[in-house]
Amino acid sequence: MGALLDHLTPALTDLGDEQRVTEGVARILDAGTGAARQRAAFADAGTEGLLDLIAPAPSTP
């Protein structure tokens, strides 16, 4: 992944997307894809855990 980012960085910089793409890749490498996080939430806490991940309850003031 590092080599791919190195290769793409000049084009990403020219287009103004370097930071967004670099942060997105780092997030995926750190926390996994959205699908992986959803499967883990479901495995840990069932449907309620999945719903808490994708639509957390609003906090009360």
Residue 61 has a pLDDT of 72
pTM score > 0.75 for this model?
no
Per-residue model confidence as pLDDT tens digits over 1-51: 899 999 999 999 999 999 999 999 999 999 999 999 999 999 999 999 999
Residue 59 has a pLDDT of 79
Give yes or no for residue 53 having a pLDDT over 80: yes
* Contact yes or no for 5/22 (Cβ under 8 A): yes
* Contact yes or no for 32/40 (Cβ under 8 A): yes
**Start-end of H helices in 1-61:** 2-15, 18-31, 34-54
Residue 60 has a pLDDT of 73
**How many whole angstroms separate alpha carbon 11 and alpha carbon 19?**
12
> Exposure string (b/e) for 41-55, b if CB count within 10 Å is 16 or more?
beeeeeeeebeebee
